[in-house]
Amino acid sequence: MRISRARRRAGVSMAATLPLLAGALALGIPSAQAADPVPGGRAALAGTQPTWATGSADQGAASASTKVDARVYLAGRDAKGLDAYAAAVSDPRSPSYGKYLSTAQAQQRFGATQEQIDAVTQWLKSSGLTVTGSNQHYISVSGDVAAAQKAFATQLHNYRKGNRTYRAPAKNASAPNALAGAVLTVTGLDNAPHKATHQDTLPGPGAGFRNAGPFSTYYGSNVAKTLPDAYGGKVPYAVHGYTGQQLRAAYGAGEYTGKGVTVAITDAYASPTMASDAAQYAKRNGDKPYKTGQYTEVLPADYNSTEACDASGWYGEESLDVEAVHAVAPDANIVYVGGASCNDPDLLDALNKVVDRHLADIVSNSWGDIEANETPDVAAAYDQTFKLGAIEGIGFYFSSGDNGDEVANTGKKQVDTPANSAWVTAVGGTSLAVGKNDKYQFETGWGTEKASLSADGKSWVNFPGAYTSGAGGGTSSTVKQPFYQRHVVPDALAKANGATRMRTVPDIAAVADPNTGFLVGQTQSWPDKSVKYDEYRIGGTSLAAPVIAGVQALAQQAQRSPIGFANPSIYARFDSRLYHDVTDHPLGAARDLAVARVDFANSVDASGGLLTSVRSLGKDSSLVATRGYDDVTGVGSPAPGYVASYTNPFRR
């Protein structure tokens, strides 16, 4: 099966037609390549030939005996009707808004019929493929290249992709005409992985990590008076790590606690100490203790790809997600849904569990990959899950990425996926200043430039230094602009890649900068061979996503009904006092900002020395946080009044 590896976000320095508004169906999906000739009696499955499978990269036919594992995703009874209903039920301006279906109703109305499942199964078997699994979403098969070529009427060749060679279809796959309405797509005919390297500057949570200090307890409380000036003055030390009380104050939680709301979190694998770590963290940091049954887990029977995915490295991500949601929405129920690996099929299975069992109304996801590694077949499978969630009143929130415009990381300006989907809420990142008495001071877009202290301690080397990380954002190359972004996203962004308006991310934002980050607690392994709990500051848009999920839990409590796919509601509130309009220079155009930070060289203690640096705020590669919508923070971050605005239908 095609292996698409998601990157966790944590540790950066440290988802019958009803009336619709005009154009409401323009929730774009990735565009397919130009149509290839299709054999008679066949229907093309667009997007199943990757863009990198070109004639110049062709290395010849794949061996007929090579094994192929694939999934044939089912389109269901009414794919067009699913699109229309998902849009209508999510749009506050639609008469169908909020008229969600139960899981049984959704399956009965839009799910695959048993007749479709049986017919597709028979076709695959008759081609010589072996069915290895089947459910309402897909039929998984295994066989050799010869059988796959017979089934999907395309040759499988080897293609050069970068410095590697991978198998892929020589043209789009197809299905028999009689099954065209039953088959959504097929994945696994190509076997190229997504890029799996992690960009974390803090070590994986399997090994112990501590912050060195000195710290600020709130922004600006401890000024680095003995260190060199930066931007014309002394700068404060980085905060020790914000806690729930500070984040709730910054984003206007008020008296809302998320009571009666369930938030799901998906990641790969599962930390064996999560429940005890979460309880200890809440006790130590002033959060409400967990009630019996408030935190639950839904885990796969088996795991795979543990080495390739760095399984233990996902434990810190899980810790951050769970503890951040509880800190912001202390009465919300949390269900952790673990994927069997960091590969697309397993992460999709985790998301589908949430939808099929309606485990939650809000789903936080702090993982993803670059858009260049996404193929239309996989994107279509994800989007179908997100749309099925939307009609049930389930909203999916994805971190926008931690590498800014991705140029420094990949050499190409691009956005991340699945955050690029028109059916999810992409969460961008900020640098947050919470002052004395938990008073919100300001936010900038998250983008860090780092300069180290000189050997003599009198200057910053090459100040302001090199770009290290920042909130992901920009304009999609594959997904057309959805209706809710019209008249909000400037054409300078929407048309950044050409004449057609495209999906721009993010949609909304919250704290992400690890230098103004969140305090997290986790059991880790230490050099003395002990395994014990400790706490450290962390950031990334993997912090922003669960924070926004927590805020949305508060808003759903205020609304007293599911918000569902939230983007139409989020954009309806644009350009109002309900958002902090985040810019990179909140204290004036000439006022740049930075914090000082001290780290243990060995990540654990002072025995290996200390590393002192200055970290600039609001310096996100080519992305800029400006007044109005921008590609670092979207519409902005929630302000006091945002949560309460869901108490009644929103009116300007």
In terms of domains, do 158 and 251 share one? no
What pLDDT score was predicted for residue 162? 85
Q: What are phi and psi of 313, to 5 degrees?
A: -65, -20
Per-residue pLDDT band at 36 (split at 50, 70, 90): low
In terms of domains, do 249 and 352 share one? yes
Q: Is residue 107 part of a domain?
A: no
Q: How many domains does the chain have?
A: 2
Domain boundary among 192, 227, 255: 192
Taking only the tens place, the pLDDT of each residue in 498-553 is 999 999 999 999 999 999 999 999 999 999 989 999 999 999 999 999 999 999 99
What pLDDT score was predicted for residue 121? 98
Judged by phi (left if over 0) then psi (alpha if -120 to 50, else beta), residue 462 lies in left
Domain boundary among 152, 170, 192: 192
Residue with tokens 């009666």: 260
d(CA 147, CA 166): 18
Task: List all residues 6 or more positions away from 622 whose beta carbon is below 8 Å from its beta carbon.
Answer: 404, 405, 407, 413
Per-residue pLDDT band at 40 (split at 50, 70, 90): confident
Question: Residue 505 is which amino acid?
Answer: V
Q: Is residue 227 part of a domain?
A: no
- The three state secondary structure string of 360-411 is CCEEEECEEEEHHHCCHHHHHHHHHHHHHHHHCCCEEEEECCCECCCHHHHC
Q: Rounded mean pLDDT of the chain?
A: 92
In terms of domains, do 507 and 416 share one? yes
What pLDDT score was predicted for residue 5? 59
Per-residue pLDDT band at 21 (split at 50, 70, 90): very low
State the CATH number of the domain containing residue 270.
Answer: 3.40.50.200
In terms of domains, do 160 and 265 share one? no
d(CA 455, CA 228): 12
Asked whether 259 and 557 are in contact (CB, 8 A), the reply is yes
Per-residue pLDDT band at 380 (split at 50, 70, 90): very high
Strand 262-268, strand 362-365: pairing = parallel
Q: Is residue 92 part of a domain?
A: no
In terms of domains, do 248 and 356 share one? yes
Could you tell me what percent of the chain has a pLDDT over 70?
A: 93
d(CA 49, CA 36): 10
Asked whether 490 and 479 are in contact (CB, 8 A), the reply is no
3-state SS assignment for residue 580:
strand
Taking only the tens place, the pLDDT of each residue in 273-312 is 999 999 999 999 999 999 999 999 999 999 998 888 888 8
Q: Which two tokens stand for residue 551?
A: 């805020």
* Domain housing 516: 244-646
Average the pLDDT over each of 48-52, 89-93, 195-199, 622-626 and give the range with the smallest value.
195-199
Q: Is residue 231 part of a domain?
A: no
Q: Is residue 552 part of a domain?
A: yes
In terms of domains, do 358 and 263 share one? yes
Domain boundary among 192, 210, 226: 192
